[in-house]
Every structure is written in structure tokens, then in C-alpha cells.
């Protein structure tokens, strides 16, 4: 719609409310002079003295306006530019003579009769016409008629003119109405447009509001972003500074690295030299180790492949104090400073009286000499010190067998396993030996040796083998299980007990838990079978095998720690009831196995062709640890009590025989 409007109208619209708020008459006046009331009033005043003129004004104002502006109809229909021109020219025609001039002009322009309305067309007003000839006498009816005719015709002419003028005015009025309608329509359109424009303006206002809000928001964001940029720039500066510092540090570090590389290269060269030296020394060390083993073995052999240590336990609290002189420890040839090797047992006089039943004779003294004699006050560590070198031989590949021989209560278990309560001070040979072996094995690892240890713990009671490492209560559960001594495999010389537990161990704690398990199993067996542990031999065996990968060497040997059954003889006063028969059988079995052990040692000592290993389970199981290059140590445990004198004497006699059985050079040296 806006697009269809002529440019002038658009400019009018653009003027906005100002122009639209003007009174409608003014607006109309500017466009339609004929409708202006102001003009009408003005004209009324001007023409007031002429009542006739006033009377003849019909459609009125148009005529009056036409009088003041003779060319108004032309102006109304002429283009806008010409209208303006006419408007400029119009004042020139105003003045006192204006009416006349207008009249004249109307007269000269006949067709525009509307303008000439104030005066009769004939140019002579009826008044003037009546005034002209003198008043006819009453009789002059003809003359009067003539005058009346003239006047009538003049009136007719005038009527015609007026009718014509009226028509024209009507036509003009129609045009004006049409124009008014057009203008009204135009006005409506303009109002519509204005409403639209207002709505648009409102919308624009809203849009503007939104846009300004967005602008504000964007400005805030911009502000934030600026802040961010500023902080980033600051951080960048900080990072640049840091980078510079790091670069400087890097430079320093690189220099250091270069130095270190140079030092490293130097060190590597040195390491290579050292490695060569180390290899050479390792080789040398290995040679020395092998030499040590050889010499160690030589020493052990010189000391005797079968050695006997005597240990006298102290009197326990609650036991009678032994009479002085019952057991004496004479000093050696080098005095009391050197370790004791001798022991004298003196039979009390009354004891002898009872034997011969006669007069009291002089006391009889029995002297014994062993590889070492431990006095009652000797500590466990002192005992082990003497044994440790022998234990070392097991690592070097020599079978080692340590026995504890003696009557029940003489201290065999104390020597082998230790005292009660788990006190480390009273730890026995077994825990000390394994700890020593593990420690030496770890040291030998540095020379290329690697060792493995496998433990087993069995009990031989009445020539029957039981596994002490079976689970707790295993003695009951495994009652049907047969434990037989067999070769470990075809072609193997190693002997094992079938169905027994062979447990790999690598530390003392593991061995300790095995000893604990064995103790528990022994306790259970004691209560269920009313059996004394002292009536059985218990054999703790540690299979040691070592490898030297570099030298392709291999060594394997068992270490046996045997707590023998009580060596006491059968009580002569024992009755022959069913329980006693069992006890008799038990004692015979013990005596038989102990005497077999003695016979085996003697046969080995005498290098007899037949060694009666098979005569007892104990010697049969231990045969590999007794023959050849095996090392054997026997502890003969003695009770200090007077009441145990006979048993002590028996034990010492047995041990003495064993001691004489020492094989090889050691024996010669001993003598
Ligand atoms: P066995 O095993 O020969 O029957 P034990 O080793 O059981 O004898 O010893 C019997 C008692 O004597 C135990 O109470 C033990 O603690 C104690 N005993 C043995 N030898 C010693 C010793 N050298 N020092 C202290 N007490 C000992
Ligand atoms: Mg015991």
C-alpha cells in the first residue's frame, strides 16, 4: 500500500502527527477553498452592505470565494504547481476594487458563470432597470407590460444563467464531494498506514529494546572477554617468563647431561675393566671355594669322619643335687683353657657295696675321652658352634648325620630341637643348623651357587615308620598308610620314605612351622597310643642340592638330625603281663636298632664287605648318610644324677666304642 502512494502523499505522511492533528476544517481549507468557513465569514463581512448579493448566494460559499478569487474553479482543477502559482498571484487581485474587477472579469468570461453571480448577466441590475425609465403612468399599461416583459425576459435570462451556474456549482460540488471521498479514502489508507507504522514502530521499539539488551549483553561479554584476554595475556607473559627460565635450566641440564654422559662413558669403560677383573676374581674365588671345600673336608676327616661329643645336662630344679665327684671333667694336656675332651665317672662306694654285697671298697673311676665334652653349664650356641663346620660340609656335598644318644631324660631332645617355650636361647641343633645352612647358601649365591632344600621328618617306633609331617592327627588318619623305605627312582641311589611328606623349604620360619607340626603329631600319638616319644627314633632330614650354573657343577647331600630312642636297658624286675610284654618288645626293638647302629659303624670302620644296614629301619634309612665320605657326629647325652649312673656308664661305653670306630687318619691322629 505504501508503495502505491504518490511521493507527495508520502511526504505528507512523513510529517506525522503534527499535520494529522490539525483541525479538519483547516485541512479541508488547504485543499478545498470552497468549504472554508473562515473565508465564508470574511466574505460575509465584505459583502454585508449588499443584501441582494447575500440573498442570491446559493451553494453559497463557492460564489463568495469565487468573488474574491475569480479563478478558483480553475485553481481547483489545475495541477498543484499551478495552484501554488495562482495562490501567489491572488493577493495582487485583492483591494478595494476587487469586487468590481471580479465582476468585470466574470462578465468578460461568460462560461464561468459562477464567478459572475453577484451581478446580473445583462450587466444591468433589476433595480437599475426599474430606475432607468421613469415610472409609467397608470394608464400606460402597454408600456408597463412592455417593461414587465423586458424585466421578465431579463429575469428569464438571469434565471437561466443562475440555473446554469447552479448546475455548474452542483457539478463542482459533486466533484468536491468526490474529491472529499477520495481524500477520505486516502485519509483512511493513511490512518491504516499510520496504525501499521505505529505497530511497526512499536515492534521496532521492542526490537530496539531487545537489540539494546543484546548490545548491552554483548558489551558485558566483550568486557568479560577483554578481562579474559587480559588475564590470558598476563598468563602468556608469565608462561613466556617460565619458558625462558626453563630454557635456561634446560641449557644447564644439557650441559650437565653432557658432563654426565662423558662421566658415564668413562664409568662404562671402567665397569668393563672391572667386570673383566670381577670375572677373573670370581674365577679365582671359585677356585678358592673349591680349595676351601677340599681343605674343609680334609680338616673334617682329620677331626674324624665319626666324631663323638659328650654332653652332660645340668640337674633340673626339683632333682637331687649330684654328689660331688660323681662326674668329673679333667682338664686336657694344655690346661683348663682349652675345650674339655675328657670325662670321669666315679661309682659311689655304696653302689659298689650293693653289687658285691661285701665290704665297701675304693671308688671305681671310669675315664672317657671324646672329641669334645660339654659341661652341664654349656649353652646351646656353644654346642652349635662345634657343629656348624660339620653342617657346612652338607652344603659342600658331604652327607652329614648327627645322632643324639642317651637314656630317656638325658637331654637328647633338648640338644636336637631345643628347650620348651620357644626361647631362642635354648633353640636346638635343628633350627640352628637350618638357619646356618640358609645363611651360607645365600652367601654362596653371590659366587654363582643356587641351593634348594627339602625337609622330611619321620619317626621309627618298633620298626614302624610314621610321618611326623602328615597333617595334624595324621597319625590316626594315616593308620592304614604304609611308609616304606624305597629308592627315590630307578637308577637313583637316594632313599625315600613312601607316602611321607617332603616339603621344600627356603627360610627358617617354614622349618619352624614343620617342627611345630611334628611336635603336635607326636603329642597326639602319645595320647592315643599311650606311647612315649622317647621310645622312638625321630629323623629330621634335609635334602640339600646345589648348582653352579657357570661352572656346571652340582652337589647334593642329606643332613640328618636324629633324636634316638632312650637307650636304657630293660628293667630286670619287669613282670611278664601283656603291657610289659609290649614294653619288652619295644625295648628289644630299640636295643636292636641301637646295637645295629653300633655294628654298622664298626663294620664301616673295619671296612667290612658287609655292613648290616638292613638289620634296622634306622640304619637302612640312613645308610647313604653313613657310608663313603659321610660325616657322622654322635652326641652322647648324660644325666648328672646319681640314680642314672649305670645308664650313663652304659651310654659312655657305647659312645666310646663308636668313638674308636673313627675311620681314616683321624683315628690315627687321635691315638
Ligand atoms: P630326652 O629327650 O633325652 O628324653 P629331654 O631333652 O627331654 O631328654 O630332657 C629332659 C629334661 O631335661 C627336659 O625338661 C629338658 O628341658 C631338660 N634338659 C635337658 N638338657 C638340658 C640342658 N642342657 N640344660 C637345661 N635343661 C636341660
Ligand atoms: Mg627325648
Residues 373-424 pLDDT 10s: 999 999 999 999 989 988 988 988 889 999 999 999 999 999 999 988 778 8
Let me know if residue 415 belongs to a domain: yes
Q: Strands 631-638, 400-406: parallel, antiparallel or unpaired by DSSP?
A: parallel
Please report how the helices 380-395 and 429-445 are oriented relative to each other, as an axis angle in degrees rounded to 10.
40
Let me know if residue 150 belongs to a domain: no
**Residue 557 C-alpha to ligand 1 middle, in angstroms?**
30
Please give the pLDDT value at position 572.
Answer: 55
CATH assignment at residue 526: 3.40.850.10
Nearest to 593 by CA among 613, 618, 612, 576: 618
Let me know if residue 120 belongs to a domain: no
Residue 304 marked in a binding site: no
Residues 145-191 pLDDT 10s: 898 889 899 999 999 999 999 999 999 999 999 999 999 998 889 99
Please give the pLDDT value at position 400.
Answer: 92
Q: Which atom of ligand 1 is least distant from the CA of 406?
A: 3
Please report how the helices 141-303 and 61-68 are oriented relative to each other, as an axis angle in degrees rounded to 10.
90
Let me know if residue 422 belongs to a domain: yes
Please give the pLDDT value at position 532.
Answer: 55
Q: Which atom of ligand 1 is least distant from the CA of 376?
A: 23
Number of domains in the chain: 1
Let me know if residue 28 belongs to a domain: no
Mutate to test the pocket of ligand 1, among 376, 411, 518, 536 (most ligand atoms within 8 A of CB): 411
Residue 132 DSSP label: S
Is 120 close to ligand 1, i.e. is its CB under 6 Å away? no
Is 379 close to ligand 1, i.e. is its CB under 6 Å away? no
Is 637 close to ligand 1, i.e. is its CB under 6 Å away? yes
Cell of 350: 655304696
Q: Ligand 2 (ion): which residues have CB within 5 A? A: 412-413, 534
Residue 144 marked in a binding site: no
Please give the pLDDT value at position 32.
Answer: 40
CA gap 642, 360 in Å, rounded = 17
Q: Which residues in the chain come in under a pLDDT of 50?
A: 1-130, 352-355, 527-531, 664-671
Let me know if residue 487 belongs to a domain: yes
Please give the pLDDT value at position 5.
Answer: 40
Please give the pLDDT value at position 630.
Answer: 86
Please give the pLDDT value at position 533.
Answer: 60
Nearest to 567 by CA among 412, 400, 355: 412
Find the domain containing 355 and state its range.
304-661
Residues sharing a CB contact under 8 Å with residue 640, sequence separation 6 or more, in sequence order: 312, 313, 314, 315, 322, 326, 327, 376
Q: How far is CA 447 from CA 283, 293, 392, 393, 558, in A?
A: 9, 14, 16, 17, 22
Residue 411 marked in a binding site: yes
Please give the pLDDT value at position 598.
Answer: 92
CA gap 440, 391 in Å, rounded = 10
Let me know if residue 327 belongs to a domain: yes
Let me know if residue 236 belongs to a domain: no
**Residue 419 C-alpha to ligand 1 middle, in angstroms?**
7
Please give the pLDDT value at position 525.
Answer: 58
Please give the pLDDT value at position 315.
Answer: 95
Amino acid at each position: 500500500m505504501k508503495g502505491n502512494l504518490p511521493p507527495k502523499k508520502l511526504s505528507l505522511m512523513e510529517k506525522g502527527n503534527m499535520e494529522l492533528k490539525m483541525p479538519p476544517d483547516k485541512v479541508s481549507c488547504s485543499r478545498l477553498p470552497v468549504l472554508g468557513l473562515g473565508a465564508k465569514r470574511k466574505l460575509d463581512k465584505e459583502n454585508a452592505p449588499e443584501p441582494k448579493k447575500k440573498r442570491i448566494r446559493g451553494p453559497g460559499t463557492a460564489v463568495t470565494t469565487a468573488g474574491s478569487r475569480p479563478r478558483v474553479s480553475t485553481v481547483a482543477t489545475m495541477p498543484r504547481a499551478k495552484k501554488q502559482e495562482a495562490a501567489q498571484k491572488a493577493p495582487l487581485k485583492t483591494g478595494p476594487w476587487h469586487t468590481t474587477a471580479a465582476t468585470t472579469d466574470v462578465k468578460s468570461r461568460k462560461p464561468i458563470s459562477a464567478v459572475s453571480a453577484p451581478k446580473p448577466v445583462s450587466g444591468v441590475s433589476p433595480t437599475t432597470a426599474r430606475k432607468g425609465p421613469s415610472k409609467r403612468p397608470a394608464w400606460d399599461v402597454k408600456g408597463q407590460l412592455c417593461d414587465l416583459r423586458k424585466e421578465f425576459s431579463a429575469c428569464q435570462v438571469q434565471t437561466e444563467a443562475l440555473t446554469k451556474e447552479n448546475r455548474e456549482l452542483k457539478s463542482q460540488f459533486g466533484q468536491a464531494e468526490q474529491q472529499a471521498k477520495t481524500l477520505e479514502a486516502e485519509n483512511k489508507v493513511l490512518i491504516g498506514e499510520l496504525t501499521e507504522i505505529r505497530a511497526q514502530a512499536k515492534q521496532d521499539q521492542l526490537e530496539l529494546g531487545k537489540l539494546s539488551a543484546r548490545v548491552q549483553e554483548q558489551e558485558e561479554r566483550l568486557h568479560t572477554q577483554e578481562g579474559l584476554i587480559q588475564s590470558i595475556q598476563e598468563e602468556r607473559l608469565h608462561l613466556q617468563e617460565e619458558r625462558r627460565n626453563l630454557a635456561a635450566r634446560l641449557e644447564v641440564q644439557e650441559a650437565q647431561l653432557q658432563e654426565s654422559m662423558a662421566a658415564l662413558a668413562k664409568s662404562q669403560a671402567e665397569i668393563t675393566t672391572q667386570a673383566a677383573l670381577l670375572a677373573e676374581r670370581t674365577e679365582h674365588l671359585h677356585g678358592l671355594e673349591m680349595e676351601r671345600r677340599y681343605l674343609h673336608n680334609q680338616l673334617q676327616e682329620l677331626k674324624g669322619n665319626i666324631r663323638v661329643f659328650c654332653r652332660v645336662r645340668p640337674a633340673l630344679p626339683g632333682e637331687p643335687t649330684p654328689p660331688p665327684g660323681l662326674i668329673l671333667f679333667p682338664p686336657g694336656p694344655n690346661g683348663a683353657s682349652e675345650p674339655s675332651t675328657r670325662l670321669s665317672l666315679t661309682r659311689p662306694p655304696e653302689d659298689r657295696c650293693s653289687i658285691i654285697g661285701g665290704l665297701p671298697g675304693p671308688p671305681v673311676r671310669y675315664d672317657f675321652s671324646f672329641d669334645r665334652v660339654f659341661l652341664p653349664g654349656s649353652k646351646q650356641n656353644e654346642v652349635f658352634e662345634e657343629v656348624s663346620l660339620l653342617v657346612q660340609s652338607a652344603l659342600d656335598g658331604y652327607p652329614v648325620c648327627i645322632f643324639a644318644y642317651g637314656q630317656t631324660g638325658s637331654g637328647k631332645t633338648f640338644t636336637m630341637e631345643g628347650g620348651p617355650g620357644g626361647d631362642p636361647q635354648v633353640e636346638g641343633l635343628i633350627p640352628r643348623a637350618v638357619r646356618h645352612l640358609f645363611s651360607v647358601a645365600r652367601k654362596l649365591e653371590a659366587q654363582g651357587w643356587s641351593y634348594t632344600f627339602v625337609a622330611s621328618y619321620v619317626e621309627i617306633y618298633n620298626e614302624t615308620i610314621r610321618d611326623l609331617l602328615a597333617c595334624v592327627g595324621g597319625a590316626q588318619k594315616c593308620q592304614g598308610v604304609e611308609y616304606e623305605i624305597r629308592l627315590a627312582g630307578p637308577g637313583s641311589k637316594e632313599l625315600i620314605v613312601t607316602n611321607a611328606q617332603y616339603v621344600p623349604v627356603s627360610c627358617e620360619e617354614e622349618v619352624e612351622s614343620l617342627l611345630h607340626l611334628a611336635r603336635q603329631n607326636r603329642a597326639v600319638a602319645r595320647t592315643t597310643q599311650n606311647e612315649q616319644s622317647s621310645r622312638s627314633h625321630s629323623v629330621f632330614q634335609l635334602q640339600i642340592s646345589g648348582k653352579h650354573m657357570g661352572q656346571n657343577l652340582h652337589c647334593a647331600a642329606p643332613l640328618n638330625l636324629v633324636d634316638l630312642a632312650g637307650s636304657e636297658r630293660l628293667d630286670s624286675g619287669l613282670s611278664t603281663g601283656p603291657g610289659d610284654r609290649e614294653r619288652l618288645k619295644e625295648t628289644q626293638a630299640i636295643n636292636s636298632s641301637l646295637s645295629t647302629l653300633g655294628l654298622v659303624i664298626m663294620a664301616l670302620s673295619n671296612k667290612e664287605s658287609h655292613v648290616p644296614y638292613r638289620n634296622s629301619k634306622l640304619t637302612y634309612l640312613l645308610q647313604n648318610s653313613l657310608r663313603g665320605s659321610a660325616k657322622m657326629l654322635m652326641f652322647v647325652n648324660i644325666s648328672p644324677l646319681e640314680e642314672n649312673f649305670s645308664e650313663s656308664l652304659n651310654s659312655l661305653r657305647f659312645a666310646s666304642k663308636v668313638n674308636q670306630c673313627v675311620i681314616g687318619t683321624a683315628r690315627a691322629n687321635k691315638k
